[in-house]
Amino acid sequence: MNFINELIRQITTYATIYSLLTIGIIIGGKTGVFNIAGDGIMLVAASVSFIVSYLSNNWLYGFLFGILIGSVFGLLFSFIHEYFKVNQFILGLCIIILGTGLSDFIYNLIIGVRLSNPISPEVPIIYIPFISKIPILSGFLNQNPIVYFMYIITFISWWFYYKTRIGLETRGIGENPKAMDVVGINVTLRRYISTIIGASLIGLAGAYLPLIITRTYSPGIDGGRGTMAIGIAIFASWKPQRAIIGGFLFATIEVIVYQLQIISKTIPYQFILMIPFISILIIMLLFRRKIEYPSSIGNPYNRE
Residues that bind another protein in the complex, under the rule CB under 8 A: 34, 36, 80, 84-87, 89-91, 93-98, 100-105, 108-109, 219-220, 224, 227-228, 230-231, 234, 265-266, 268, 270-271, 273-274, 277-278, 280-281, 284-285, 288, 293, 295, 297-299
CB-nearer residue toward another protein: 86 or 245: 86
CB-nearer residue toward another protein: 139 or 226: 226
Question: Taking CA 122 as the corner, what is the angle to CA 263 and CA 21, rounded to the nearest 5 degrees?
Answer: 70
Q: Which ranges of the chain does DSSP label H, i.e. alpha helix?
A: 2-30, 38-56, 59-84, 88-110, 135-141, 145-163, 165-175, 177-183, 187-208, 225-235, 240-263, 269-286
CB of 143 to another protein, least distance (A): 27
Tell me the angle at which helices 2-30 and 165-175 cross, rounded to the nearest 10 degrees.
70
CB-nearer residue toward another protein: 139 or 294: 294
CB-nearer residue toward another protein: 138 or 279: 279
> Which of 208, 266, 194, 176 minimizes the C-alpha distance to 59?
208
Cβ atoms within 10 Å, residue 24: 33
CB of 140 to another protein, least distance (A): 27
CA distance 196 to 81: 12
CB of 288 to another protein, least distance (A): 5
CB of 84 to another protein, least distance (A): 5
CB of 27 to another protein, least distance (A): 18
Burial 77-110 (b: 16+ CB within 10 A, else e): bbebbbeeeeebeebbeebbebbbebbbebbeee
Bridge partners (DSSP) listed for residue 126: 143
Q: Considering Cα of 264, then 270, then 273, then 279, what sign does the dihedral take?
A: negative
Q: How far, rounded to the nearest angstrom, does the alpha carbon of residue 61 sit from its chain's CA centroid? A: 19
CB-nearer residue toward another protein: 64 or 98: 98
CB of 295 to another protein, least distance (A): 7
CB of 247 to another protein, least distance (A): 17
Q: Provide the 3-class DSSP secondary structure of residue 143.
A: strand
CB-nearer residue toward another protein: 97 or 125: 97
Assess contact for 46 and 206: CB atoms under 8 A.
Answer: yes
CB-nearer residue toward another protein: 67 or 228: 228
